[in-house]
Amino acid sequence: MKRVFSGVQPTGNIHIGNYLGAMKQFVDLQEEMDCFFCVVDLHSVTLPQDPKSIYSHTLDVASLYLAIGIDPKKSTIFVQSHVPAHAELGWLLQCNSYMGELNRMTQFKDKSKGSESVSVGLFTYPNLMAADILLYDTHIVPVGNDQKQHIELCRDIAIRFNNRFGETFVIPEPQIKKSGARIMALDDPSKKMSKSAENPLSRITLMDSPEQLKKAIMKATTDSEGQIRFDLENKAGVSNLLTIYSEFSGMSISELEQKYEGLGYGALKKDLVEVVTASLSSIQQRYHEIRNSDEIRNILKEGAEKAEQVANITLRRVKEKMGF
């Protein structure tokens, strides 16, 4: 059976980009593959985090995994820092990659821009991510478009390691959706929707109330043409709204273009508010039941035990190859 690994950082503000680009795929994959879904808390400390909120955000993400439909009987749900093999393999992979290749990572350039004190961890983050993936002999990594370059690097490192030390790692493939892999900011459709943007109306989080998400959608940047059609180059804002609508409703983009022919942006936005509200309210209802129960901690404990068994076998193999 094919292995799947993916992760989400516990940094708060999990938004519909994270959901449509990555998490929604997890639910479908668990039916036919052996899936490991991780809350990657070690990644979140590459940027400063408040010690008072990190564990609570970890429980939030784990509860969201369950709320969107990930079934702990079918998938392994666990926390990265509960399995020490991640940090250990991360180090060994740092020693098997080059400054030059990490220097090319555009996410590092974006996240470090304008900041005077950038952690070394932010720079070597792709090595830890490679360790996350390679520890589980992963075949498929479902992610958003922004992670493509990191997966490419992970493959390069794994191939190089295999060539140097002998067959050790399974070479993973990214799984990036054709639609929804890059949801754009609502206030500025030239940027991707992100957890950290200052303007809260730039994103819709999975926890938004109907009033909040209505405000964000009604204010979303469009254009002055007035026609509802999909055109990424010239109509990025409207195209982004159509993509979100299509992903939440299951209607195709061309069905939506037909439905709104001759109608204005106000009509599209009003209906989109209803579509998103309906989807999020059922996720939120399940989320609140789960988040306040003890069940989630038990699931994470069992998940870590299962993950550790697999991870330790790979780590031992790596260390033997390297001569430890």
Q: Does 231 carry a binding-site annotation?
A: no
Q: Does 18 carry a binding-site annotation?
A: yes
Known catalytic residue at 111:
yes
Closest approach, Cβ 157 to ligand ADP, in A, equals 19
In whole angstroms, give the CA distance from residue 143 to residue 177.
Answer: 8
Closest approach, Cβ 11 to ligand ADP, in A, equals 6
Known catalytic residue at 259:
no
Using CB under 6 A as the binding rule, whether residue 42 contacts ligand ADP is answered as no
Binding piece for ligand ADP, criterion CB under 6 A, among 129-137, 139-147, 260-268, 282-290 = 139-147
Exactly one of 128, 143, 244, 256 binds ligand ADP (CB under 6 A); that residue is 143
Query: Interaction with ligand ADP in 171-210: which residues (CB under 6 A)?
Result: 181-183, 192-195
Using CB under 6 A as the binding rule, whether residue 21 contacts ligand ADP is answered as yes
Closest approach, Cβ 113 to ligand ADP, in A, equals 15
Exactly one of 18, 46, 58, 138 binds ligand ADP (CB under 6 A); that residue is 18
Using CB under 6 A as the binding rule, whether residue 12 contacts ligand ADP is answered as no
Using CB under 6 A as the binding rule, whether residue 146 contacts ligand ADP is answered as yes
Residue 5, beta-bridge partner list: 36
Q: Does 146 carry a binding-site annotation?
A: yes
Using CB under 6 A as the binding rule, whether residue 147 contacts ligand ADP is answered as yes
Known catalytic residue at 192:
yes
Exactly one of 90, 144, 174, 189 binds ligand ADP (CB under 6 A); that residue is 144
Nearest residue (beta carbon) to ligand ADP: 21
Closest approach, Cβ 294 to ligand ADP, in A, equals 26
Per-residue CA distances from 43 to 87, 104, 110, 150 (Å):
10, 19, 16, 13
* Catalytic member of 2, 148, 177, 195: 195
In whole angstroms, give the CA distance from residue 112 to residue 117.
Answer: 8
Query: Interaction with ligand ADP in 74-103: which residues (CB under 6 A)?
Result: none
Closest approach, Cβ 128 to ligand ADP, in A, equals 12
Binding piece for ligand ADP, criterion CB under 6 A, among 16-24, 65-73, 161-169, 221-229 = 16-24
Given a contact cutoff of 8 angstroms between Cβ atoms, the answer to whether 140 and 33 are in contact is: yes
Binding residue positions for L-tryptophan: 132
Interacting residues toward ligand ADP by CB under 6 A: 8-9, 17-18, 21-22, 143-144, 146-147, 181-183, 192-195
Q: Which residues are catalytic?
A: 111, 192, 195
